Amino acid sequence: MDLQLHQVQMRILRHLLMNSIDSFSQMAKESKLPSDHFNYHLSCLHKTGYILKEGDKYKLTRTGKEFANRMDTEKNVIEKQAKLGALLIISKVENGKKYLLIQKRLKEPYYGFTGFITGKVAWGEKILETATRELMEEAGLTAKLDFQFIIHEHVYHKDDGRLLEDKFFYIFKGSNPKGDLISLPSGENYWMLEDDFKKLKKVYYDEFELLELVEKGQKELIEKEYWIEEF
């Protein structure tokens, strides 16, 4: 998780992003701060591992470069970006009837809503690895996972039009699940007849649409806007 940095520290990072390497005296002069004040913030950045000293000059570390590269250099803030995740539509057939793996969410946001298992893409992780890991971590299962399509969603609140979420989901269809189904404090998992699932009321805003798209064989990128009342 990124640290919340003081604006002075953000300005130092921006300076080194644009100048590569510079001296204490030059940076302190540009900051227009007292030397002891400027030195405090420079020391904080050194402790976080974002900058290092070479001789009498300072520059960004690899970690510092990665962090500062996400900066909006006009506003001196880290740019907010869309979330990336995998969404798993897992099914099985028993006695000629189709069941879906459903999770009731037991954490905010969307507390109490029901839908498919999702999970964030971890740093350095491939998408199929994400899907495989999340299915095991969240439900204790393995399955044959087939990538279907990507959906880019903008989720707004109906009352004030505020953008609540900007996210990409890589949609996977899973079959032949194996293992003993588990639940976690954050989500209760169970198998449900597909027809019964389609009758539920408190379901995520996009679940029925995504299920229909998978059943129709959707393969291309989709971008959608959703307006919701509860988050």
Rounded distance between C-alpha atoms, residue 147 and residue 54, angstroms: 48
> Which of 172, 93, 160 has its CA nearest to residue 126?
172
DSSP letter string, 89-158:
EEEEEETTEEEEEEEEE-SSSSTT-EE-EEEEPPTT--HHHHHHHHHHHHHS-EEEEEEEEEEEEEEEET
Residue 103: strand pairing partners: 115, 189
Confidence band, pLDDT 50/70/90 cuts, at residue 1: very low
- The stretch 116-125 carries a mean pLDDT of 96
Question: Minimum mean pLDDT among 69-78, 107-116, 153-162, 197-206: which range?
Answer: 69-78
Report whether 164 contacts 231 (CB < 8 A): yes
Query: What percentage of the chain reaches a pLDDT higher than 70?
Result: 99
Question: Minimum mean pLDDT among 2-6, 25-29, 51-55, 202-206: which range?
Answer: 2-6
Q: What is the pLDDT of residue 69?
A: 87
Q: What is the pTM of this model?
A: 0.82
Answer yes or no: do 29 and 142 share one domain: no
Rounded distance between C-alpha atoms, residue 121 and residue 87, angstroms: 11
Confidence band, pLDDT 50/70/90 cuts, at residue 3: low
pLDDT in tens, 11-39: 999 999 999 999 999 999 999 999 999 99
State how far Cα 9 lies from the chain centre: 26
pLDDT in tens, 57-112: 999 999 999 888 888 888 888 888 999 999 999 999 999 999 999 999 999 999 99
Answer yes or no: do 47 and 146 share one domain: no
- The stretch 139-149 carries a mean pLDDT of 98
Q: What is the pLDDT of residue 231?
A: 87
Answer yes or no: do 130 and 39 share one domain: no
Determine which helix (DSSP H) or strand (DSSP E) holds 208, and give its type and residue range.
helix 207-215
Q: What is the pLDDT of residue 9?
A: 93
Answer yes or no: do 91 and 157 share one domain: yes
The values of phi and psi at residue 35, to 5°, are -55, -40
Report whether 44 contacts 73 (CB < 8 A): no
Q: Is residue 1 part of a domain?
A: no
Answer yes or no: do 48 and 133 share one domain: no
Answer yes or no: do 71 and 114 share one domain: no
* Contact partners, residue 63, CB within 8 Å, separation at least 6: 49, 50
Q: What is the pLDDT of residue 77?
A: 86
Q: Of 57, 78, 99, which residue constitutes the final position of a domain?
A: 78
User: Does position 229 have pLDDT exceeding 60, yes or no?
Assistant: yes
Containing domain of residue 91, as a range? Answer: 83-228
Answer yes or no: do 117 and 201 share one domain: yes
Answer yes or no: do 173 and 150 share one domain: yes
Q: Is residue 2 part of a domain?
A: no
User: Does position 177 have pLDDT exceeding 70, yes or no?
Assistant: yes
Bridging pattern class, strands 163-178 and 142-157: antiparallel
Q: Is residue 42 part of a domain?
A: yes
169: number of Cβ within 10 Å: 21
